[in-house]
Amino acid sequence: MIKVGIVGGTGYTGVELLRLLAAHPQVALQVITSRADAGMPVSQMFPSLRGYVDMPFTHPDQAQLEKCDLVFFATPNGIAMQQARILLDAGVKVIDLSADFRLQDIASWEKWYGMSHACPDLVAGAVYGLPEVNRAQIKTARLVANPGCYPTAVQLGFIPLIEAGVIEPASLIADAKSGVSGAGRKAEIATLFPEAADNFKAYGVAGHRHLPEIKQGLARVLGAEVGLTFVPHLTPMIRGIHATLYGRLTREFDLQALFEQRYANEPFVDVMPAGSHPETRSVRGANHCRIAVHRPQGGNTVVVLSVIDNLVKGAAGQAVQNMNIMFALPESTALNNVPLLP
């Protein structure tokens, strides 16, 4: 059994981790930390976990995380980097769901996240946890930087085109929409129900923290810098990301076959039939990314539609997928649940 600890178990990604791990046959939950809610039964805060997670939150000072085999950080940015070194030195593997280890350029990270990095020397050894690209590195990783939600949907949509060299990499466009849970569980005016319901808006047009992460990932695939315009939007739904991606074709290619072949052996990427329009509800609660590729009017613009659940493939589900790879388990263990519909 894998002895697992979760730091920050009271947020949306934390409870999603608990939901998935509670059904994992090879996981023994050891500790779930919360500074503010220490001593409270987890099932009191999250009644959906009654009978599945029968333990209280533990104060971080009493957590004894070094006794775990693996620790997930489902915390705000800036927390994991303060604690990762101690755990790694104790032989504990770490999967960080925040952005602390995603960007290899420390100066860029400090610019976008507005703080000094506490352990820049660990960043170079962190493996970016996108299994469809870095599966081999994840297998032997000690520290995994779990990708962000927008970056997961956008990269999975663009990667086949960039690998095949069939689009102009200097003028990529990602128009993406997210459910309100992507903002986290904290109380903020913009995500209150009366503010977010019956509304649709763009935000972060001048620059969003996920932009450098997406560009870094695509540049690794290309072997050179990419040009990307990324515009996120907030939609009045709880879960889901829909990314509409645009690229300029540079040569003729069977795009449907390209995507089908690229993801033929990927258990969590579903390339839909030609002409399809994937919906966010088709992946709700599941670790799937559904993709459709279009070429409107037979022109030289390719349009890729990519949908994920931001809390699952965009966060906790991908983290469990990475854990399975790190511990040589079948990749789909505890992730075979059917999406919720309606």
Catalytic residue numbers read 149
Cis peptide before 25 (omega within 30 of 0): no
SS3 261: helix
- DSSP for 174-232 reads EEEEE-GGGG-SS--GGGSHHHHTT--EE--TT--THHHHHHHHHHHHHTS---EEEEE
CA distance 334 to 245: 30
Q: Distances from the Cα of 268 to the Cαs of 27, 174, 208, in angstroms? A: 21, 21, 26
- Pairing mode of beta strands 201-202, 172-178: unpaired
CA distance 91 to 1: 16
CA distance 308 to 292: 12
- Residue of 179, 167, 168, 302 lying closest to 234 (CA atoms): 179
CA distance 248 to 336: 36
Cα-Cα-Cα-Cα dihedral sign, residues 65, 49, 316, 197: negative
CA distance 103 to 124: 9
Compute how many other C-beta atoms are within 10 angstroms of the C-beta atom of residue 202.
Answer: 12
CB 69 within 8 A of CB 47: no
